[in-house]
Structure 1
Amino acid sequence: MTPQQIEQVQSSFAKVAPIAEQAAVIFYDRLFAQVPAIRAMFPQDMREQHKKLMATLAIVVGGLGDLPTVLPAASALARRHVGYGVTPEHYQVVGGALLYTLEQGLGSDWTAELAAAWTSAYTLLSNYMITEAYGAPATA
């Protein structure tokens, strides 16, 4: 990622943070609509999960400029997700739900350039997590 892309991701996430609960609802609604079987991996009451999602995103986005600070947590998260039944293929669906959520949350501030920056960030982190959990990144 370029420094400009990191800045774009961080500044756009700052615009989504005030609507964190709504963004989390959009994300999970989209995820479950895309792959209904994933719903069984989550608790019935999603409020705590919404908070965890947004807190994790905040940490990762905040650490993009210094990746070594977030990679150990990303590795641990990836390994935990294996136990929940997450497969490498799920990462692509999650990425799509994330981009959709950002597009909805940012409205007219969502541009092709910003989408590319977020795609770069997500691809970097998801490939790392897949490698940590399964040994090799999935091809997109």
Structure 2
Amino acid sequence: MKNLVPIFLFAVLAASTAQARDTRLHLDFAEAVKSGLSDGTLDGSVSFHLAGAPTPAISKRLGVANSNRKTNAVNKSDEEACRWVLMSVLLAMQDQARSRGANAVVDITSNYKKQEFSSPTQYECAAGAIMAGVALKGTYATVSR
């Protein structure tokens, strides 16, 4: 019986590690923002611009933007959970931008678990069996419209 205890503990640890999925997805940012605008999740008062993407002329930079959110991914596709959590991040940034007098967030990069991912067209989302997460950083700014 003593010999079975280490085997049992190893089996439990191996099973829990196997279930801990953290898949990194790179998804279309403009499509997600467009969807958020069309369904009313985002109100259009703040525009969002990934680093390296075309950005209107910046007249003033108003500080660092950071938002990191997670959402329940149970019974959702990875893409659905990622869109949901991205909207949560963008809503937080939209509210913070307005409170600072900004009308844009520029130079946005993904920063999940402090690992930077930069693309002019995509954001990074980490999807697991239970949770999905998005972390973005950028700069609050006023831009010409």
Q: Normalising to structure 1: TM-score of the pair?
A: 0.26
Could you say which structure has the larger radius of gyration? 2
Structure with the higher fraction of residues in strand conformation: 2
TM-score normalised per structure 2: 0.25
